[in-house]
């Protein structure tokens, strides 16, 4: 289903589908004149958590989906609604890539506004680190090019600050050569979750930082529950298989690791597409600093089909590497402050049990979160340092004092933790 079709399912005071930056500026002017808030959509991935839209203007940005790649300068210029599948395909023609997420249909812009972690993050770093410039329509109707020289404060905010400073109509991104790549999955039954998690946790301790991996404990709708390790590296297959020896020694029933490229890998292992006809799902998330044996055992228990927390998927992503170091140009999010990301996805009725599971496991971290995985009810205070929140709030108040753009994670320097945790849980799907 297209983005426009998804948006048409929602009640709204008005729908607009601009095709030029000037039309975006006109739409924002209409919003200011009518006193209505604007909800901006590009791919549809932000639809479930946005809430009631009946009195708001829905801005469908799907027309802004072009991709131009300059292989000489290694720069891509993309529309604000470009999906990862389109950017990876265009860049791959020239042996180039970008720090992509884990879902091909996710929009590049929204992903990068919130930082961006995915299949190659330990090697390439945060997605937002690739931003070199943005074309932004601000609430005053101006169409502005934002880069490190024209407006360093706003450029800082666009690099991982969560968005909401205007409407991004295009981005310029630095691309990276990808001369070789291997990746795939190792698979076992869910009964092996505990021993695989313990081996994987030990394996990550001294892992080369070009290897990115995650463990997913999944409940397949019609099939057995599985323990899956997803892994990639800018290496040849034989080299990566050698690195994987401590895991393949556990005799996986499935091993699809082979030579590939970012485009092909995304096509084969992308997260599921949005199905608006399915019942909404919810998710919980926290960053962990360590994953000792007892934490692995708890994760395995929470993921079991019987006696677990009712989740459809429990995922642990290995962070660190380039994700743990500040990017050269900085940004509101310049690193991820944690060693592992815990992400739990399931039906709405499982929310209390999933939240309880994540709360228990949060003892192995400091309650920190990553913005793009952040449940709506937790607010931004767990994703940014206080000085970052204050700086973002200053920009929000200067750029959009009337809060015309309705962001699913509004920022407030004065909201209490109690106010933020009282919000409803977030609904899937999730940006990468």
Single pTM value for the model: 0.91
The model's pLDDT over 20-75, given as tens digits with 9 standing for 90+, comes to: 999 999 999 988 888 888 888 876 554 444 555 567 788 889 999 999 999 999 99
Per residue in 107-138, pLDDT (tens digit) is: 999 999 999 999 999 999 999 999 999 999 99
Average pLDDT over residues 148-161: 96
Q: Percentage of residues in the chain with pLDDT exceeding 90? A: 70
Res 417 pLDDT > 60: no
pLDDT at 258 over 50: yes
Average pLDDT over residues 309-335: 94
- Find the DSSP H helices in 167-289: 193-204, 237-243, 245-248, 262-269
Of the CATH numbers 3.30.1330.10, 3.40.462.20, 3.40.50.10900, 3.50.50.60, which one belongs to the domain with range 182-378?
3.40.462.20
Which pLDDT score, from 0 to 100, does residue 270 have? 87
Residue-level pLDDT at 9? 52
Q: pLDDT grade, residue 274 (50/70/90)?
A: low
The residues, any chain, with a CB within 8 Å of residue 196's CB and separated by 6 or more, are 188, 215, 227, 229, 247, 250
d(CA 121, CA 104): 15
pLDDT at 352 over 90: yes
3 state DSSP class of 46: coil
pLDDT for position 100: 94
Of residues 32, 5, 28, 4, the one with CA closest to residue 17: 4
Lowest mean pLDDT among 45-54, 222-231, 281-290, 338-347: 45-54
In the chain, what percentage of residues exceed pLDDT 70? 87
Q: Which residue has the higher pLDDT, 326 or 195?
A: 195
Residue 10 has pLDDT above 70, yes or no: no
206 three-state secondary structure: coil
The H or E element that residue 416 is part of is none
Check residue 82 and give its pLDDT. 96
Higher pLDDT, 76 or 180: 76
């Amino acid at each position: 289903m297209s983005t426009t079709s998804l948006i048409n399912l929602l009640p709204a005071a008005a729908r607009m589908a601009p095709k030029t930056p000037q039309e975006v500026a006109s739409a924002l002017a209409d919003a200011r004149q009518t006193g209505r808030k604007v909800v901006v959509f590009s791919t549809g991935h932000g639809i479930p958590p946005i809430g009631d839209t009946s009195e708001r203007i829905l801005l469908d940005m799907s027309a802004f989906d072009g991709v131009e790649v300059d292989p000489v300068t290694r720069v891509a210029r993309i529309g604000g609604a470009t999906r990862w599948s389109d950017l990876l395909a265009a860049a791959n023609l020239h042996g180039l890539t970008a720090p992509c997420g884990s879902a091909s249909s996710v929009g590049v812009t929204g992903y990068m506004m919130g930082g961006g972690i995915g299949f190659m993050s330990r090697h390439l770093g945060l997605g937002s680190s690739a931003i070199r410039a943005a074309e932004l329509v601000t609430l005053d109707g101006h169409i502005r090019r934002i880069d490190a020289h024209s407006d360093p404060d706003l450029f800082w905010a666009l690099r991982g600050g969560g968005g909401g400073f205007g409407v991004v109509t295009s981005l310029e991104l630095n691309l990276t050569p990808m001369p070789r790549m291997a990746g795939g999955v190792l698979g076992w039954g869910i009964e092996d979750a505990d021993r695989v998690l313990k081996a994987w946790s030990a394996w990550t301790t001294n892992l080369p930082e070009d290897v990115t991996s995650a463990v997913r404990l999944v409940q397949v709708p019609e099939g057995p529950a599985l323990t899956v390790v997803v892994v990639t590296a800018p290496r040849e297959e034989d080299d990566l298989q050698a690195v994987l020896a401590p895991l393949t020694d556990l005799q996986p029933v499935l091993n699809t690791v082979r030579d590939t490229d970012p485009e092909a890998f995304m096509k084969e292992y992308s997260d599921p597409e949005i199905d608006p006809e399915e019942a909404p799902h919810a998710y919980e998330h926290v960053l962990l600093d360590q994953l000792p044996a007892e934490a692995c055992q708890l994760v395995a228990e929470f993921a079991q089909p019987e006696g677990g927390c009712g989740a459809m998927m429990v995922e642990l992503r290995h962070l660190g590497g380039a994700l743990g170091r500040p990017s050269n140009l900085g940004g509101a999010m310049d690193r991820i402050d944690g060693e592992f990301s815990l992400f739990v996805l399931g039906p709405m009725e499982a929310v209390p049990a999933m939240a309880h599971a994540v709360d228990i496991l949060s003892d192995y971290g400091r309650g920190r979160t990553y913005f793009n995985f952040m449940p709506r009810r937790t607010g931004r205070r767990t994703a940014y340092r206080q000085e970052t929140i204050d700086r973002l709030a200053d920009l929000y108040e200067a750029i959009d004092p009337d809060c015309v753009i309705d962001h699913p994670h509004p920022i407030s320097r004065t909201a209490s933790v109690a106010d933020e945790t009282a919000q409803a849980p977030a609904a899937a799907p999730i940006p990468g």
